[in-house]
Structure 1
Amino acid sequence: MSNAHDPRRRPPALKTLDHTVAAVPLLQGRVLLHEHARNIPRPRLTLDDELSGVVLTGANADARAFQLRTAVGYEGTLLIDSAAYSTYTATAEEPFMAPPDELFATVDDSLNFQKARGATAALTPTGYIPPASSRALKAVMRDANRIERADTLVSLPIDVAWLNRENIGQLIAVCAKIRHPKAVILFRQFDPLEQAKDVPANLRRLFTEVEHMALLRTDLAALDVLAHGALCAGIGVQSSLRHAIPPDEKAQIGKRGGGPTYPHVLMPQLMCFKGAESLSNLYANVDPATCDCEECDGRGLDRFFLPDGDTRREADNHTIATWSGWVSEMASYRAGTERKTWWRNKCTAAVDRYALENQRIGQGASSRSGFQVPPPLKAWATLPVAP
């Protein structure tokens, strides 16, 4: 959020509540930062105002958004994700969750409220859509097509099983019939794209065959879909905001027991997120991988193995600066084959570096040692470049 604030100007989203202002041109080509509303909003100087923006999510998202607009003076692109899907499951009768604190409140009230709090466009409060729940998915389409606004994104919080080969055809058919832009959020414990071998290809197919699709609350899949024609995307600042879990489940963690939590760090050369504790162990006896982003300035990536807030903010800033640089680089290529080829070549180069980095740090080829290529990255590096 690097734009300077002029106190004489009101933020653009607060100038008007006009629902006829179309969402598509305001969001086109952007990769947004998905942040949790429990934190006090603050400027992220590494975000490019022309190519990025912010999504605030959670129970206090509307209040935090208004604070970001009025107290902080942020004038960039902003979405409010109330995360209705975290507590509500869509049904054939009620696919959207209306505001719970108002009697007879409607979905339109929810959309208007988001705009009044500073949102650039409004997200429908769609409930979680379970695997193969065709009636709920079709109900989203039915009710969404009744919305007479141009400023709306239809949120599609779907279980990743919708991207399996048994379900992808129906998902594409329904999405194509929704006349508003759509914002997909994938559900599953851990990385949804690792749940089945065909998920990365089918996600790409969805975004290739249906226009005006967005992918929110994700990881580097944001860049893959953007390279393949997505309207926009959103990358979670923390691992918990890079996917979602069904309302009746508790988040699982990769290790047992409690204790402090540490940041997950984006590795620039390997194009993967890695836990700070794991990096500290892997680089314990060798020189660590370094980063030249403006936050790191050539320092090692093993330095984030601390639980304090300053360290986490520094790790977040590094990660944001890294993928923001990639977004800027992508924007320099023409949309279509040229951009897709650039992305595939970048992923291929990253895959090739795994063996070199493991050799450098003295790790063997065992699947339990060293750095392992994430399955989605391997898929992006090998899937054909379609025209």
Structure 2
Amino acid sequence: MSNAPDPRRRPSAVKTLDHTVAAVPLLQGRVLLHEHTQPIPRPRPALDDDLGGVVMTGPNADARAFQLRADVGFTGTLLIDSAAYTTYTATAERPFMAPPDELFATVHDSLNFQKARGASAALTPTGYIPPANSLALKAVLREANRIERADTLVSLPIDATWLNRENISQLIAVCAKIRHPKAVILFRQFDPLEQAKDIPANLRRLFTEVEHMSLLRTDLAALDVMAHGALCAGIGVRSSLRHAIPPDEKAQTGKRGGGPTYPHVLMPQLMCFKGAESLSTLYANADPAACACEECNGRGLDRFFLSDGETRREADSHNIFTWSEWVSDMASYRAGTERKAWWRNKCAAAVDRYALENQRIGQGATPRSGFQAPAPLKAWATLPITP
């Protein structure tokens, strides 16, 4: 990976791209990694220079992004997402949140600041757009179209219900009128795509009917939209960065009683993220599924049931190596029907493996035992291939 730091020199400055440098060609075809801002930025050898990049996400994202550029020596594609939508709800009067310490700051100041800290393109600081709040959504359209620069990506942090059959047509109509590229971020507790049966199909419809759409802060839905014409997408390094929750809600977890948290592991054959604690239980009396990625090198996937930093690093690396390989495979197929068919067949093969894996380990596919194919994966495996 060419983005590893050169120990012989430390960059003295971060190169800032002019606001006239268009965002679309810089982001086209990339699947980015959403990074936390808590740990010190580190090189990610699993990221592909030509097809990947980083979204630094959360409080102090600008400072961590600058560190990634200046201290780590990262030269790849980089976005800065301060995640204003986690604390601010968009209104008809103010869809964008200005920096809290700048009384007279404008959205242009926010965009310029991101670029000064090393961002390749700039994300609007859009607030969370609640269910059916048409006035807030239209306000984003109004204010976004006032932005006179080529480097801007309009963030659309929407509740997942905007993808229901009652709201999808309006969402498509508004997105089509925004003249900048768009970046959708879905909100709901747990997996937003599981909130309603029609959401996976309607998400595809949005990305098929509107050009220059991106899906950020998500999971393998990133690959589904990429197969169906997305500009770019972003996968969270941890489960908390694979969706977002409304500002007035506290994150719910399936874990009771607190205690240590363990990594979520991407299963290559089953194409799902599974908690390390659950994997340890499932494989307690059977040989674990193994992985051949560069991080695992044939080792079992039950080994991540530890809460230390090194285990977390290994799990992250395994996940990135796994989905990065799929991104590379996808890029080898021609955009359009050929790529869509490849993705559908891959998802269908994964769904078929669930019964085989459960049989191998002597488990049944029930909520209390065995592996269960996620609803979005089953949808991707069965939705029709459109021209």
Q: Same fold (TM over 0.5)?
A: yes
> 2: distance between equivalents of 1:268 and 1:385?
23
- Give matches, 1:76-115, under 5 Å: 76-115=76-115
Structure 2 match to 1:190: 190
Cα distance in 1 between the residues matched to 2:324 and 2:160:
26
Superposition deviation, residue 258 in structure 1: 1.0
Contact 1:96 1:124 in 2 (8 A): yes
- The equivalent of 2:53 in structure 1 is 53
Q: Name the SS of the counterpart of 2:266 in structure 1.
A: strand
TM-score normalised to the size of structure 2?
0.98
Quick one: distance in 1 between partners of 2:365 and 2:304? 26
- Please report how far the alpha carbon of residue 4 of structure 1 lies from its aligned counterpart in structure 2 after TM superposition: 4.8
Whichever residue aligns with residue 332 of structure 1, its letter is: S
The one-character-per-residue Cα deviations of 1:28-74 (angstroms, maximum 9, x if unpaired) are 00000001111110000010000000000111100000011011110
Name the counterpart of 1:382: 382
Which AA in structure 2 matches 1:293?
Answer: C
Quick check: 1:2–1:48 contact (8 Å CA) kept in 2?
no
Aligned residues, how many? 386
Distance 1:16 1:306 in 2: 40
Alpha-carbon distance between aligned partners in 1 of 2:16 and 2:284, rounded to the nearest angstrom: 55
CA contact (8 A) 2:16 2:117 kept: no
Aligned ranges 1:1-387 → 2 under 5 Å: 2-5=2-5, 14-387=14-387
State the Cα distance separating 1:27 from its structure 2 match.
Answer: 0.2
C-alpha separation in 2, matches of 1:35 and 1:139: 29
Structure 1 outlier segments of 4+, above 4 Å: 4-11
Question: Cα deviation per residue 1:366-385 (whole Å; 9 max; x = unaligned)?
Answer: 34320001000000000000
C-alpha separation in 2, matches of 1:341 and 1:367: 31
Letter in 2 for 1:108: H
Letter in 2 for 1:345: N
Amino acid at match of 1:360: R
The answer as to whether partners of 2:348 and 2:381 remain within 8 angstroms in 1 is yes
Does the residue aligned with 2:33 lie in a helix, a strand or coil?
A: strand
Is the Cα contact below 8 Å between 1:2 and 1:47 reproduced in 2? no
Q: Work out the CA distance in 2 between the residues paired with 1:59 and 1:262.
A: 23
Distance 1:106 1:293, change over 3 A: same
Please list every run of 5 or more consecutive structure 1 residues that lacks an aligned counterpart in the other structure: none
CA contact (8 A) 2:16 2:118 kept: no
Q: Conserved in 2, the CA contact under 8 Å of 1:294 and 1:321?
A: yes
Q: Distance in 2 between matches of 1:17 and 1:316?
A: 30
User: Percent of counterpart pairs with the same letter?
Assistant: 86
- The letter of the residue matching 2:127 is G
Residues in 1 aligned to 2:5 and 2:288: alpha-carbon distance in whole angstroms: 39
The CA deviation string for residues 92-113 of structure 1, in whole angstroms up to 9 with x for no partner, is: 0000001111120000000000
Change (3 A) 1:255 1:16: closer
Tell me the TM-score normalised to structure 1 length: 0.98
Residues 69 and 75 in structure 1, CA contact (< 8 A), matched pair in contact too:
yes
Amino acid at match of 1:124: T
Structure 2 unaligned residues grouped into runs of 5+: none
User: Secondary structure at 2:31's aligned position in 1?
Assistant: strand
Task: Quote the Cα distance in structure 1 between the aligned partners of 2:3 and 2:65.
Answer: 16
